[in-house]
Amino acid sequence: MNRLRFGICIVLSFIAYHAHAGLVISEIMYDVSGTDTDREWIEVQNTGTDSISLTNYKLYEANTNHSLVEYQGGVTLAPSAYAIIADSPSKFLADWPGFSGVLVDASFSLSNEQGEVLALKDSTNSVIDTVTYTPSLGAAGDGNSLQKITEGWIAATPTPGAVNSSETTYVDTATTENPQSDEKATSTPQKITASISVPTTVQALATTEFRATLLDTDGSPLVRGYFLWNFGDGATYDEIQKSETVTHQYKYPGDYTVSLAYYRSRYLAKPEITTKASVMVIPVGVVITEVNSEGAIALANKSKVDTDISGWELVTEKGNFIFPQNSFLPAGKRIYIPSEITHFEVGLLWVELRFPNRALVSVYGNKNTLPIISEAKIVSPLQYPEKVLNTRGVEQTPLVYANDKTMDSTITTDVVVPFGATSQTKSHRTLFAYGGLGIIVVGAASLIVYLRKKQKQDVFAPEDEFEIVE
C-alpha cells in the first residue's frame, strides 16, 4: 500500500512538473557594465502552448524564494512570450526605455564573482526550471548577457523581451582539418548579411511585393527579431516574425529608397544591419481607349515598360472579367478584348479597369449616361480607327499607327464631346445651332417692323382722336 501511494505521488509530481514546464529562464544579466547595483535582471519565457500567470511563481536565488510583483504589462504570458524579472524595474526602464513588455519586481542581488544557482518555483514550491551560471560563461561586466540557445548558454548582446541572439565571439580550439598544418585554428565569426529583392520599376497604386533575405553569422536564415521596413514615402512596417513577403502601394510616381533594418530586439537602439534598394514608381500607363459597336474593349499601354495585367479586372454594370495569369500588355501597344471572351453584352453604359487590389486604373463612360456608342469598327490587327474616345470621353488621335510599330510622340489637343457622341451627332448640333440663330434673327426683324408700324400710327392719328378747342 505504501508503495502504491509512493508511486501515485511520483506520477502526480511528474504531471505537475510538466503542466508548468513551459516557463524557463532564458536570459541572465548578472553583471551590468559599470555600476550594476539594482540594474540586474532575469528574463523568463513561456515555451508552452498555454498562457501562464506569474502570480504564484517564485524566483529562487541565494537560498531565498523571492515573490514576483506586478509592475508593468500584467502578469500573464502568452505562448512564446517573455517577461523580465528586475531587481529595480525603474532602473531597468531607465536602461531600456523602449521596453513595453511584461515587467515584474523582485528583490535579489546576483553574484558577480562566483555565480550561483537560480530556479523558478510554482505555487507548490516545486522547481520547474533551474540554471547554474558562473563568470566563466562570459558576460562578466562587458555589456553582454548570458542567453539560452539550442546548444546551451552563450554570452551575447542583451535582448530583453525578445528572441535570444546566436551571435557570440569565440575562439575555436578544435583542430583544423587542413592536413598541411597541425596548428589550432582561430575562427572569426561571420557578419550578418541582408538583401532586398524588389522590382526596379512599378506602377503607382499597384501592390508591390518586397522580399528580404537575412542570414545570421552562422549562415542560418534570420526569421525572429525585430524587422523594420521603410518604403521611402513616409510609410513603415514592422514585425517580429519575418514574413516571406511584405507589400506596399505607392500613391504617386517618383524615385524611392526602400530600407530594412534588423534588430535582435525591438528595444535595442541600434540595428544589427540595414540594407537598402531603389525603386522607380511610374504613372499608370494602361487606359481603356475604346468600346466598339460589338462590345470589344480596347486597352492601350501609354507607358514605356511592358505591363503585367494578370489579375486586373474589367468591371461593368453587366458583369466582371479578370485577366488570367501571364497576361501582358507591351509598352506602346494596344489590344482588343472581344465580347466573346468577356461575355459582356453590347451596349455597355460604362467600363472600369481595376488593379487586383481594386484600385481604379481607368474608367470609360459614365454610370449616368446612355449606352456607349462608338464609330469604331472591328478591324484587322494592322488597322485602327482614325478616332477613338479616351477615358474622359474626348476625341483624340489613336495611340498606334497602322504599322503598329510607332507611337504618336505628340499629344493632340482634345476636342470635348459628350460621351458616346459621334461626328454625325456633332453635325446635328451644328444644324440646331444655326436654326436657333435663324429663329432669333427672324424674331428680331419682326419686332423691328412692328415697332416702326406702331410709330407711324401714333404720328398720323385720325381726326376724331383730337379734341377741338374753340
Say which CATH number the domain at 275 has.
Answer: 2.60.40.10
Q: Which domain holds residue 89?
A: 2-156
Residues 187-225: tens digit of each pLDDT: 444 688 888 888 778 888 888 899 999 998 888 898 888
Alpha-carbon distance of 363 to 353, in angstroms, equals 6
C-alpha cell at 153: 548558454
* Per-residue confidence (pLDDT) for residue 345, from 0 to 100: 86
Based on the fold, state whether residues 325 and 269 are members of the same structural domain: no
φ/ψ region of 437 (left if φ > 0, alpha if ψ in -120 to 50, else beta) reads alpha
| Residues forming a β-bridge with 351 | 316, 364
* Look-up of cell digits 501582358: 328
Residues 271-285: tens digit of each pLDDT: 999 999 889 898 888
Q: How far apart are the first and last CA of the chain?
A: 162
Kindly state whether residue 200 falls inside one of the protein's structural domains.
Answer: yes
Kindly state whether residue 365 falls inside one of the protein's structural domains.
Answer: yes
C-alpha cell at 329: 500588355
Residue scoring higher pLDDT (331 or 401): 331
* Per-residue confidence (pLDDT) for residue 182, from 0 to 100: 41
Based on the fold, state whether residues 375 and 394 are members of the same structural domain: yes
**Cβ neighbour number for residue 272 with a 10 Å cutoff:** 22
CB distance 88 to 29 below 8 Å: no
- Under the banding of pLDDT at 50, 70 and 90, the label for residue 82 is very high
Residues 237-282: tens digit of each pLDDT: 999 888 889 999 998 999 999 999 999 887 788 899 999 988 989 8
Based on the fold, state whether residues 300 and 398 are members of the same structural domain: yes
Kindly state whether residue 164 falls inside one of the protein's structural domains.
Answer: no
Based on the fold, state whether residues 299 and 270 are members of the same structural domain: no
Based on the fold, state whether residues 266 and 315 are members of the same structural domain: no
* 61-70, 160-169, 305-314, 419-428: least confidently modelled range: 419-428
C-alpha cell at 43: 528574463
Find how far residue 272's CA is from the centre of its chain. Answer: 23
Kindly state whether residue 144 falls inside one of the protein's structural domains.
Answer: yes
- Under the banding of pLDDT at 50, 70 and 90, the label for residue 437 is confident
Based on the fold, state whether residues 133 and 105 are members of the same structural domain: yes
Q: Among residues of the chain, what percentage have pLDDT more than 70?
A: 71
Based on the fold, state whether residues 9 and 104 are members of the same structural domain: yes
C-alpha cell at 118: 537560480
Which sign does the torsion angle of CA 198, 199, 200, 202 carry? negative
- The mean pLDDT of the chain is 76
* Per-residue confidence (pLDDT) for residue 442, from 0 to 100: 75
Kindly state whether residue 181 falls inside one of the protein's structural domains.
Answer: no
Residue 328 scores a pLDDT above 70: yes
Alpha-carbon distance of 395 to 389, in angstroms, equals 5
Based on the fold, state whether residues 257 and 341 are members of the same structural domain: no
Based on the fold, state whether residues 275 and 301 are members of the same structural domain: no
Based on the fold, state whether residues 228 and 206 are members of the same structural domain: yes
Domain end position, chosen among 127, 156, 185: 156
Based on the fold, state whether residues 241 and 133 are members of the same structural domain: no
Laid out side by side, the sheet with 254-263 consists of 201-203, 273-282, 254-263, 224-230, 236-241
Kindly state whether residue 240 falls inside one of the protein's structural domains.
Answer: yes
Kindly state whether residue 180 falls inside one of the protein's structural domains.
Answer: no
* Per-residue confidence (pLDDT) for residue 454, from 0 to 100: 61
CB distance 225 to 163 below 8 Å: yes
Alpha-carbon distance of 105 to 90, in angstroms, equals 9
CB distance 290 to 385 below 8 Å: yes
Residue 290 scores a pLDDT above 50: yes
Three-state secondary structure call for residue 146: strand
Domain end position, chosen among 282, 314, 332: 282
- Under the banding of pLDDT at 50, 70 and 90, the label for residue 439 is confident
Split into its structural domains, the chain has a count of 4
Find the mean pLDDT for residues 177-181: 38
Kindly state whether residue 174 falls inside one of the protein's structural domains.
Answer: no
C-alpha cell at 44: 523568463
Find the mean pLDDT for residues 143-158: 87
Based on the fold, state whether residues 30 and 61 are members of the same structural domain: yes
51-to-47, 79, 361, 368 alpha-carbon distances in Å: 10, 6, 47, 57
Q: Whole-prediction pTM value?
A: 0.42
Domain end position, chosen among 252, 282, 312: 282
* Look-up of cell digits 511584405: 246
